Amino acid sequence: MASTKTGFIGLGLIGGSIAKAIRKYYPDHELIAFDKSRETLALAVQEGIIDTACSSIDDNFRGCGYIFLCAPVSCNSAYLAQLKDMIGNDCILTDAGSVKTSIHEEVIALGMEENFIGGHPMAGSEKSGFANSKAHLIENAYYILTPSAKVSEEKVRAYRDFVSSLKALPVILGYREHDYVTGTISHLPHIIASSLVNFVRDTDTKDELMKALAAGGFKDITRIASSSPVMWQQICLKNRENISRILSEYMESLRKAKEAVDSGDEKALYSLFETSRDYRDSMPNSSAGPIKKQFAVYCDIIDEAGGIATIATILASNNINIKNIGIVHNREFEEGVLRIEFYDEASSAKAADLLQKYRYIVYET
């Protein structure tokens, strides 16, 4: 990278996490940022993450080696025109949005392809904002790069190597392919989860019996319905052609499932569950995908006073931090009565080994 100055436009969860990762691995780099929230900028300066807080997109952004557009998808395209006359030939302009076609089309229209490489770190959290950003959020997460047609191979190699140095896993895709792939494995699941939750809400009994019983497996498979409504509204609007096509194909697969149920087709029903089980079990666990992974173990305990406290004490005395802990009342899809969630995979694995040494029966997810 020719310059060690990096600019950020938008310093929320993703922008903040990238900035913190750069500060961790490149402590001498100069980081500047613009964000609509003055409180966010003040916090970032206070924590020593950025050096300069910008009140607008001004001359501070000249001379940057990288500029990251990390504002909402609908805003990033609007910022491009303001940056056009500020970026030098060596600058790599990138974004962090989960939809790529719209911003690439704007880049082409503005004649900025020689500088632009789209970026999408496939990581996230249930929480948003700079206050919840972490340097390790993008660690071991796939980080998709979508180079423009006119950007040099040298810039692509530089950006790929830079992403790798932040401990993320770069993958190079065309921007149209990216939008179809993420539309299927990320955007569709969010629509399904939200629709399923609303279906239960709309068909629940007067005393909300479904809501009371829908713990355990149901809450796990619909967890992503708790995501930001504004963000997913914007994603659906920006990727609507792909999502519409994907929804049509998915509804056809549901129609076939209904047909198998209606006709009592034993072979088709068995195949539905067998193939889905085998394919899911073949998916790698080594890297983060677009939907954030949870790290949890389930443990059988006797429901008696002090049972949970004993386990919490065992884990705490071995410096294992617990993210969440609770009794599972609906065990239809769960194997253990106690669910313990951790912040990372290493803590989860360590806790499972430790509890087994104490003769607890443990089930890992």
Residue 219 is predicted with a pLDDT of: 79
Domain end residue (candidates: 280, 309, 330)? 280
Residue 323 is predicted with a pLDDT of: 87
Residues 275 and 305 in one domain: no
Residues 29 and 100 in one domain: yes
Whether the pLDDT of residue 331 is over 50: the answer is no
Residue 285 is predicted with a pLDDT of: 64
Specify the CATH number for the domain of residue 235: 1.10.3660.10
290 occurs within a structural domain: no
Residues 308 and 183 in one domain: no
Residues 162 and 189 in one domain: no
Domain that holds residue 74: 5-173
Whether the pLDDT of residue 246 is over 90: the answer is yes
242 occurs within a structural domain: yes
Task: For the beta carbon of residue 216, count every other beta carbon within 10 angstroms.
Answer: 17
pLDDT digits 0-9 by tens, 157-171: 999 999 999 999 999
User: pLDDT higher for 312 or 156?
Assistant: 156
The tokens of 66 are what?
């990288």
Residues 274 and 306 in one domain: no
85 occurs within a structural domain: yes
Residues 140 and 274 in one domain: no
Mean pLDDT within 262-285: 91
Whether the pLDDT of residue 301 is over 90: the answer is no
Specify the CATH number for the domain of residue 328: 3.30.70.260
Residues 55 and 152 in one domain: yes
Residues 157 and 23 in one domain: yes
Residues 193 and 275 in one domain: yes
320 occurs within a structural domain: yes
- Range name among 137-146, 268-277, 342-351 with the lowest pLDDT average: 342-351
Fill in the amino acid letter for 274: E
Average pLDDT, the chain: 88
286 occurs within a structural domain: no
Residues 34 and 78 in one domain: yes
149 occurs within a structural domain: yes
pLDDT digits 0-9 by tens, 18-41: 999 999 999 999 999 999 999 999
Residues 43 and 101 in one domain: yes
Residue 3 is predicted with a pLDDT of: 77
Mean pLDDT within 45-66: 94
Specify the CATH number for the domain of residue 53: 3.40.50.720
- Range name among 76-85, 280-289, 341-350 with the lowest pLDDT average: 280-289
pLDDT digits 0-9 by tens, 106-118: 999 999 999 999 9
Whether the pLDDT of residue 43 is over 70: the answer is yes
For the chain, the domain total comes to 3
Domain end residue (candidates: 173, 203, 231)? 173
